[in-house]
Structure 1
């Protein structure tokens, strides 16, 4: 499956690293113009204090075959988002795809109940994981909704089924609320866009081999299978390109409205559309979790990729 998105204008909010970068680059590979936003630039790091920058992402989009445009934006600040959307309108006159990949994994207090978590970090997690999504949607959907066929993708962690059935106590309440809220936000956006010909979905990657995760396990994308400290289930991990290919599949599908308001995953969409990860496999982290890992079922990781 390949997509042709030449002429498509996309905004990836939170494109600095991880899933956001993977999505931006794959949209570029399909020929799209991609506005890559975030707070980390070559001259100014965000509170993540990571080396990845939006300029790096934009250049990767252009190398892939699209046009990458880096814009520093703090999506919790309405005026900055308003100016961003005004710029897109002025320069392109349209917006076809909005990907909201805003969060803040560095704000999590792992393995702590809510009364032991840092309240300031927790509230900031809600601001970046919910409020920033809604601020961005408020301004961006005013432009996207002008033309039929627009697509909104709210990035989250876990499908609606997973989040309904399991509370991941290692992640904590603030994380749980922010991630489950994306299913409802996509539902609301989808209901509001449907009469105008638009579609909104919530979408989750599986176990993502982000830059941060690779660092945690002391490996790179080239040798990730060789980690000696990662748990066995890391074998189900997927590259950021995989979730990017899921978004390309949706954005290039003339019948994408069939998914409106749905909760989707990269693994599910790979089976539906036929795309693969960079190694030619189709990992399905959430199916593995639901059928084997979290319920004590029988099965090998290899059977789920």
Structure 2
């Protein structure tokens, strides 16, 4: 699955899923621009580099070319200038855009369990400015480049949070809107051969998740809801393998406008996680039972037994 010669952008790639996707794109040989806000403490004490710059170096070590750019994705002037610079640097070539930037993790955590009417209404902007509005702007600027060459791939990193209530009102609205953004952009970009999808990773073992759900020795914290679910989840690079497989697929336009679950792509394209494990699928009956706390029953149901997608969508219908 070589992506040599491809130009990619991954927003919000200093850590977490964005970092994992960027590393896998680099491992496949792509030139990868990664973005993140300039931190207050600009240097890491050990290496003298920011997290973003360290990720860029690792991309290059793996065989690609990593290019770090500090971009505040809450500032649309900075976003516009960034895309113009990439277009100029590569004579109008941009093959892949991964919309991943997000700034609301801390705000969501701090307001967990608080109803929306008791929460500062500005949490809407915290959740959906970078996490939705920015993705629209990035997609506009990327599409203007891609349609000139009649090809491209735009991936919106989303989640099942748009299906049912999760965390808070602003979060669920933003995720459902992001999936609708993918679907509607795909309609208008279909004739230009630009594929647009939403990707839903399962539970991902990000740096923050490990702090929340794991003990210092790596074991799941007892008595913490969903600790076991995340302990058995994906590494941050598994979604990256899904993106690489999709980008290398000459028939990816068959999937445009769809929501794609990472483990479904793993089954289809034949890849596993970087630790050699096949992570759970959110459509898996055993995963759903475990998420509900029915661990004993979950252990006797094979992982390959899954609910069809239409069953999940039907269960959320308001009609």
Q: Tell me the TM-score range normalised by the shorter chain.
A: 0.7 to 0.9
Q: Which residue matches 2:153?
A: 151
For residues 247-286 of structure 1, the C-alpha deviation after alignment (integer angstroms, 9 at most, x for no partner) is: 0011111110111000011111111111101221221341
Q: Does the residue aligned with 2:67 lie in a helix, a strand or coil?
A: strand
Q: Which residue matches 1:190?
A: 186
Assess if the C-alpha contact under 8 Å between 1:36 and 1:70 holds in 2.
Answer: yes
Which protein has greater RCO, CA pairs closer than 8 Å, 6+ apart? Answer: 1
Assess if the C-alpha contact under 8 Å between 2:205 and 2:230 holds in 1.
Answer: no
Q: Does 1:205 align with 2:204?
A: no
Q: Which residue matches 1:81?
A: 79
Q: Which residue matches 2:89?
A: 91
TM-score, normalization: structure 2?
0.83
Assess if the C-alpha contact under 8 Å between 2:215 and 2:221 holds in 1.
Answer: no
Aligned length: 289
Residue in structure 2 matching 1:173, options 161, 169, 172 = 169
Assess if the C-alpha contact under 8 Å between 2:123 and 2:170 holds in 1.
Answer: no
Q: Does 1:227 align with 2:229?
A: no
How big is the alpha-carbon RMSD for the aligned residues of Structure 1 and Structure 2? Answer: 2.4
Q: Does 1:292 align with 2:285?
A: no
Residue in structure 1 matching 2:267, options 245, 266, 271 = 271
Assess if the C-alpha contact under 8 Å between 2:127 and 2:174 holds in 1.
Answer: yes
Q: Which residue matches 1:48?
A: none
Q: Does the residue aligned with 1:146 lie in a helix, a strand or coil?
A: helix
**How far off its partner does 1:36 sit?**
0.3
Please give the alpha-carbon distance, in whole angstroms, between the structure 2 residues aligned to 1:52 and 1:304: 40
Q: Which residue matches 2:32?
A: 34
Greater gyration radius: 2
**How far off its partner does 1:145 sit?**
2.0
Please give the alpha-carbon distance, in whole angstroms, between the structure 1 residues aligned to 2:77 and 2:301: 48
Q: Which runs of 5+ in 1 are unaligned?
A: 46-50
Please give the alpha-carbon distance, in whole angstroms, between the structure 2 residues aligned to 1:40 and 1:59: 17
Quick check: 147-156 or 121-130, which moved more? 121-130
Q: Which runs of 5+ in 2 are unaligned?
A: 44-48, 305-319
Q: Does the residue aligned with 1:300 lie in a helix, a strand or coil?
A: helix
Q: Does the residue aligned with 1:145 lie in a helix, a strand or coil?
A: helix
Residue in structure 2 matching 1:11, options 9, 12, 18 = 9
Assess if the C-alpha contact under 8 Å between 1:16 and 1:40 holds in 2.
Answer: no
For residues 98-124 of structure 1, the C-alpha deviation after alignment (integer angstroms, 9 at most, x for no partner) is: 000022212212122211223223322
Q: Does the residue aligned with 2:282 lie in a helix, a strand or coil?
A: helix
